């Protein structure tokens, strides 16, 4: 079905398996939004739009004084600028004559097979199993000759629609973009909607907040140079009655790793407009004649099955259509141990080998050498940017160190922070002009480091060459790619003063180019992203990394909330999660259960564990491998909400064929002589029988979902449970 154009009604309808999205080329050639929701076949939904005289709302000149037609009340696919619509705009352009105006009319559309591609930005892709089609609608301002191409791709079976935008200057003089949103979506009535977002802070990323829509502009965004710890480029608009399992939910996920903005405005008529794209703060982008600007992709999904239904759509799509790494579907990921909390920067090759030997007894497959191996790097005041091995520490050389780890039948990983530089470094002394620093002003330091100007081609080329030389020198299996500060002092010595408004975006474009040249040219290396933890956990990054470090906060009880919030849009297989020394009174077994809601690994000194502890770790590592196919490929269910009062947190993974399931429970609050508690499963076959943990205990799926499993009460604090359910018969 895909995309259908009705030449009689001039409607264009996008169909997925269970949803429809419709727009209409209006009688004045404005592109109007009509519908997004459950499937409607090809019904013309324009009957919903009622025409009234909207007082003090302007009327387009060509409407011939028809006071009942105002763009201030029309639902639009891409809103105009300075044409009588006073709501939040999709675009702000300064034309060559200095005017602020965009009057876009439809000049054509094209429907093609396959998924569109973006030349400068990461985007989702079509696989061999997908049925996908693309719509391109062209809007033109006939006065300024500014052309906007709206791109839509429909993934029918996945119930996913993606959107992006291209702006082209067809005029003879330069124009300047001051705002460009990739998404504009107008709901005819949004007064009964809620907005769900994932705010947070360092160490507490992606917490969950829900608020009623009110007659204001609700803003979510970042101006920190990255998508940030404080916000995430994802939101849900849902019905007031929506729950985990029931209710209408619309999801919007922006594939961009820099400054972003989402604005949800409930207007005077209870219409709701959502726009989403690059944050316009300190954004002024020059487009010379014939130049094109691309806006990032937005991934949209709709379901009537609540937050869980929405999460499943994103999880399935992002597992298969976001990152092309072989570690997403083809190769099982290793259990790793990271040297950071074991040694920080105080290590040498001998110490690393000893950690690896001890970790081998824990069932670990991979040793990661974290910060401190390069340049003159004994603390965080020096060395960043000097990407060559410090052989005062790694005395045997990197190549031989990797060989020693490989001889233990283990793999080797390494840490980089490419985007930053220390003032005490050879790189800074040689190229101070490569740093972002406003002329005549002292730079803002953060973690005693400065930011390289990633918008510069020479900076990009230096990083590509120096990092590739390290990766090609030894058998590197894994790379942790970090960034440990937000951006300030936004300035590029490469650009004239009048074009400094381009630096934020050019930084991200440069970063993507570097990752294209390093990550995509090393398909056999497992890359993991990190930004002071989860400060840049977004689909743009996950296009390159199959996994991302959820947070620097490894406390397993805090992690329950971190994993819960992250799971609203990002699948378990992307969540970097480790066992560490954090939470000293929490049992190792419980730490392992929490880490299994992610990629699983260790962040501790293996040489300090006794044989009993190593044996426990080895058992947990083997359990992770046993359950890997359930955790990484199955459906994920949030069984409890850790942000609400309760005595335990529980979650569940179920294989696609529903033959196996893993229920995980952590007791977080012991109460004296409290009631018996039960955990109700989800996603099972009601008429099937399931065996519990390989014992003689067998229950029907209906019983497990409606009555639940009893959780023992007389247990130590922070006890955890795992219930492995295996289908026996119908």
Query: What's residue 53's pLDDT?
Result: 77
Are 513 and 567 within one domain? yes
Joined together, the tokens standing for residue 619 give 């058992």
- 433 part of a folded domain: no
> Confidence class of residue 58 from pLDDT cuts 50, 70 and 90?
confident
Last residue of a domain, one of 321, 352, 378: 321
Interhelix angle for 588-595 vs 611-633, to 10°?
20
For tokens 């592109």, name the residue: 31
Say yes or no to pLDDT of 246 above 80: yes
Query: What's residue 568's pLDDT?
Result: 98
By three-state DSSP, how is residue 595 classified? helix
Query: What's residue 184's pLDDT?
Result: 98
- 307 part of a folded domain: yes
* Percent of the chain's residues with pLDDT above 90: 93
Strand ordering across the sheet containing 635-638: 635-638, 648-654, 660-667, 720-729, 689-692, 698-700
- 245 part of a folded domain: yes
**Cβ atoms within 10 Å of 47's Cβ, excluding its own:** 8
The residue annotated as part of the active site, out of 85, 186, 552, 605, is 552
- 435 part of a folded domain: no
> Confidence class of residue 674 from pLDDT cuts 50, 70 and 90?
confident
Residue 348 bears catalytic tag: no
- Count of domains for the chain: 3
Cα angle vertex 116, ends 112, 119, to 5°?
A: 140
Are 212 and 303 within one domain? yes
Are 128 and 10 within one domain? yes
Are 53 and 99 within one domain? yes
Last residue of a domain, one of 603, 633, 663: 633
Query: What's residue 62's pLDDT?
Result: 82
Say yes or no to pLDDT of 680 above 90: yes
Are 278 and 375 within one domain? no
pLDDT digits (tens, 9 = 90+) for 630-654: 999 999 999 999 999 999 999 999 9
> Confidence class of residue 729 from pLDDT cuts 50, 70 and 90?
confident
For range 702-727, the mean pLDDT: 96
Residue 473 bears catalytic tag: no
What is the number of H-type helices and E-type strands within the chain? 13, 38
For range 333-345, the mean pLDDT: 96
Say yes or no to pLDDT of 469 above 70: yes
- 124 part of a folded domain: yes
* Percent of the chain's residues with pLDDT above 70: 100
Q: Whole domain around residue 506: which residue ranges?
A: 326-424+453-633
Are 693 and 598 within one domain? no
**Residue 415: Cβ-neighbour burial (10 angstroms; 0-12, 13-18, 19+):** buried
- 628 part of a folded domain: yes
Say yes or no to pLDDT of 51 above 80: no
Interhelix angle for 457-473 vs 503-518, to 10°?
20
CATH number at residue 93: 2.70.98.60
What distance, in Å, lies between the first and last C-alpha atoms of the chain?
A: 35
Q: Give the H/E segment covering residue 451.
A: strand 450-451
pLDDT digits (tens, 9 = 90+) for 250-296: 999 999 999 999 999 999 999 999 999 999 999 999 999 999 999 99
Q: How far is CA 328 from CA 371, 432, 497, 708, in A?
A: 26, 39, 43, 33
Say yes or no to pLDDT of 718 above 80: yes
Q: Give the H/E segment covering residue 294.
A: strand 292-303
- 538 part of a folded domain: yes
Say yes or no to pLDDT of 239 above 90: yes
Of the candidates 160, 28, 15, 139, which has an alpha carbon nearest to the alpha carbon of residue 77? 139
Dihedral pair phi/psi, residue 500, rounded to 5°: -70, -20
Q: Is the full-model pTM beyond 0.75? A: yes
Are 301 and 339 within one domain? no
pLDDT digits (tens, 9 = 90+) for 173-212: 999 999 999 999 999 999 999 999 999 999 999 999 999 9
The residue annotated as part of the active site, out of 85, 482, 538, 635, is 482
Question: Chain-centre distance of CA 294, in angstroms?
Answer: 19
Strand ordering across the sheet containing 336-338: 575-576, 547-549, 526-529, 478-481, 411-416, 366-369, 336-338, 601-603, 579-580
Are 332 and 317 within one domain? no
Say yes or no to pLDDT of 65 above 70: no
Q: What does pLDDT average to over the chain? A: 96
Dihedral pair phi/psi, residue 432, rounded to 5°: -65, -25
Are 312 and 332 within one domain? no
Of the candidates 263, 274, 200, 273, which has an alpha carbon nearest to the alpha carbon of residue 232? 200
Count of all residues that appear for the chain in the document: 730
CATH number at residue 698: 2.60.40.1180
The answer for residues whose C-beta is within 8 angstroms of residue 514's C-beta and 6 or more apart is 418, 454, 460, 463, 464
Pairing mode, if any, of strands 698-700 and 601-603?
Answer: unpaired
């Amino acid at each position: 079905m895909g995309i259908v154009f009705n030449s009689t009604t001039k409607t264009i309808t996008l169909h997925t398996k269970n949803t429809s999205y419709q727009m209409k080329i209006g009688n004045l050639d404005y592109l109007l939004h009509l519908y997004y929701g459950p499937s409607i076949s090809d019904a013309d939904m324009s009957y919903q739009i009622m025409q009234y005289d909207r007082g003090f709302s302007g009327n387009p000149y060509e409407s011939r004084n028809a006071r009942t037609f105002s763009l201030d009340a029309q639902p639009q696919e891409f809103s105009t600028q300075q044409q009588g619509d006073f709501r939040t705009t999709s675009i702000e352009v300064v034309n060559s004559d200095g005017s602020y105006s965009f009057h876009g009319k439809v000049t054509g559309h094209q429907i093609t097979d396959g998924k569109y591609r973006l030349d400068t930005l990461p985007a989702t892709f079509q696989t061999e199993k997908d049925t996908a089609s693309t719509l391109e609608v062209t809007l033109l301002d006939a006065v300024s000759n500014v052309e906007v191409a709206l791109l839509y791709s429909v993934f029918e079976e996945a119930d996913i629609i993606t959107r992006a935008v291209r702006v082209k200057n067809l005029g003879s003089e330069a124009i300047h973009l001051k705002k460009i949103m990739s998404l504009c979506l107008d709901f005819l009535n949004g007064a009964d909607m809620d907005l769900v977002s994932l705010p947070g802070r360092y160490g507490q990323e992606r917490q969950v907040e829900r608020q009623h829509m009110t007659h204001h502009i609700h803003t979510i965004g970042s101006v920190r140079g990255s998508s940030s710890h404080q916000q995430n480029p994802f939101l849900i608009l849902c019905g007031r009655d929506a729950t985990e399992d029931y209710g209408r939910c619309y999801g919007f996920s922006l594939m961009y790793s820099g400054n972003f903005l989402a604005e949800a405005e409930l207007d005077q008529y209870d219409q709701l407009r959502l726009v989403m794209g690059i944050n316009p703060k300190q954004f002024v982008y020059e487009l010379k004649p014939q130049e094109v600007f691309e806006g990032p992709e937005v991934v949209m999904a709709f379901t009537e099955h609540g937050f869980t239904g929405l999460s499943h759509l994103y999880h399935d799509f992002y597992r298969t259509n976001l990152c092309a790494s072989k570690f997403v579907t083809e190769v099982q990921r290793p259990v790793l141990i990271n040297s950071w909390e074991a040694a920080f920067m105080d290590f040498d090759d001998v110490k690393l080998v000893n950690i690896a030997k001890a970790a081998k007894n824990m069932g670990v497959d991979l040793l990661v050498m974290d910060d401190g191996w390069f340049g003159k790097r004994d603390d965080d005041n020096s060395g960043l940017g000097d990407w060559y091995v410090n052989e005062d520490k790694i005395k045997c050389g990197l190549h031989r160190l990797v060989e020693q780890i490989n001889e233990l039948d283990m793999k080797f990983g390494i840490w980089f922070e490419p985007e930053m530089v220390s003032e005490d470094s050879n790189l800074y002394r040689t190229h101070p002009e490569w740093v972002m620093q406003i002329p005549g002003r002292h730079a803002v330091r953060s973690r005693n480091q400065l930011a390289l100007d990633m918008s510069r081609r020479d900076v990009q080329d230096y990083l590509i060459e120096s990092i590739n030389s390290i990766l090609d020198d030894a058998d590197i299996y894994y790379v942790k790619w970090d960034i440990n500060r937000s951006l300030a002092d936004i300035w590029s010595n490469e650009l004239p003063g009048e074009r400094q408004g381009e630096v934020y975006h050019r930084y991200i474009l440069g970063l993507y180019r570097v990752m294209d040249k390093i990550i995509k040219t090393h398909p056999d290396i497992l890359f993991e992203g990190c930004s002071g933890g989860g400060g840049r956990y977004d689909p743009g990054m996950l296009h390159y990394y199959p996994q991302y470090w959820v947070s620097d906060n490894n406390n397993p009880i805090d992690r329950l909330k971190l994993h819960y919030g992250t799971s609203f849009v990002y699948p378990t297989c992307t969540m970097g999660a480790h066992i560490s020394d954090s939470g000293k009174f929490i049992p190792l077994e419980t730490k392992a259960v929490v880490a299994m809601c992610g990629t699983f690994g260790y962040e501790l000194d293996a040489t300090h564990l006794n044989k009993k502890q190593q044996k426990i770790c080895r058992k947990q590592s083997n359990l992770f491998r046993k359950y890997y196919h359930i955790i990484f490929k199955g459906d994920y269910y949030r069984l409890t909400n850790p942000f609400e009062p309760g005595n335990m947190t529980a979650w569940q993974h179920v294989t696609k064929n529903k033959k196996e399931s893993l229920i995980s429970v952590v007791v977080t609050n012991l109460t004296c002589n409290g009631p018996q508690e039960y955990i109700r499963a989800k996603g099972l076959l009601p008429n099937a029988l399931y065996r519990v943990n390989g014992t003689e205990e067998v229950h029907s799926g209906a019983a497990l979902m409606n009555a639940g499993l009893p959780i023992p009460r007389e247990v130590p604090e922070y006890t955890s449970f795992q219930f492995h359910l295996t289908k026996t018969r119908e």
